[in-house]
Amino acid sequence: MLRRNLRYALLSLAGGLAVVLGVQAYLGLSQDPQARPQIPGLLWPNPKPIGEFSLTDHRGEAFGLESLKGQWTFLFFGYTNCPDVCPVTLAVMNHVANQLSEEPAKQDNVQFAFVTVDPERDTQEQLAGFISYFNEDFVGVGGPDDKLVDLTRQLGIVFIRSKPEADGSYLVDHTASILLVNPSGELIALFRAPHDPVEMAQRFDRIRELVKS
């Protein structure tokens, strides 16, 4: 089990590295300062298309590439046994959602998803109870490791599970950034930690405006 986990962690890490290098390559292509908008974390004009993947949401419905299309998606990867970073980040995402809902036109077409990198402990039921505490509209997403890495590898998400302690508990290191996927199903921006929800909502507005024009 541990060996399998380690293998996925390494695979995921390798995928992450590939995306990081890819992003650097994209940025290198557009060095003309006038051509590149000064929005931190933005991959535009070279968003990264996401390929097919097959996960399940906290209601038991399929969650794949089609679930990302037609709307903007804020994506965060974590686990429910995470006491500090994950609750803080979900509270940030809830704050962003509330900011957007102050102008009803802006919250249209936006979803927030939390993908567990600890499917063994985060069953559908555990995910459902966890995610709805932060916001009833948020989506919890999970799936077995082989399905999970189909997505994490593409997005450069890293997760590394620690060796279990005597009582079976373990920690999971994971990417702290929140990802933004556009309605075409392409990774378009990264929001790095620590997150300021007000700034994030503003940055999201700028990104949407920019892409529209």
> Binding residues for another protein, per CB under 8 A?
80-85, 87-88, 91-92, 94-95, 126, 129-130, 132-134, 158, 160, 169, 171, 173-177, 192-199
Closest approach of Cβ 98 to another protein, in Å? 9
Indicate the residue among 46 and 94 with the shorter CB distance to another protein: 94
Q: Which of 155, 43, 124, 135 lies closest to 93 in space, CA to CA?
A: 135
Indicate the residue among 64 and 80 with the shorter CB distance to another protein: 80
The total of other beta-carbon atoms located within 10 Å of residue 129's CB is 13
C-alpha span between 89 and 101 (Å, rounded): 18
Q: Which of 116, 103, 210 lies closest to 159 in space, CA to CA?
A: 116
Closest approach of Cβ 27 to another protein, in Å? 16
Closest approach of Cβ 52 to another protein, in Å? 25
Indicate the residue among 117 and 181 with the shorter CB distance to another protein: 117
Closest approach of Cβ 118 to another protein, in Å? 11
Backbone dihedral angles phi then psi of residue 208, each to the nearest 5 degrees? -65, -40
Give yes or no for a contact between 98 and 107, defined as CB atoms under 8 angstroms apart: no
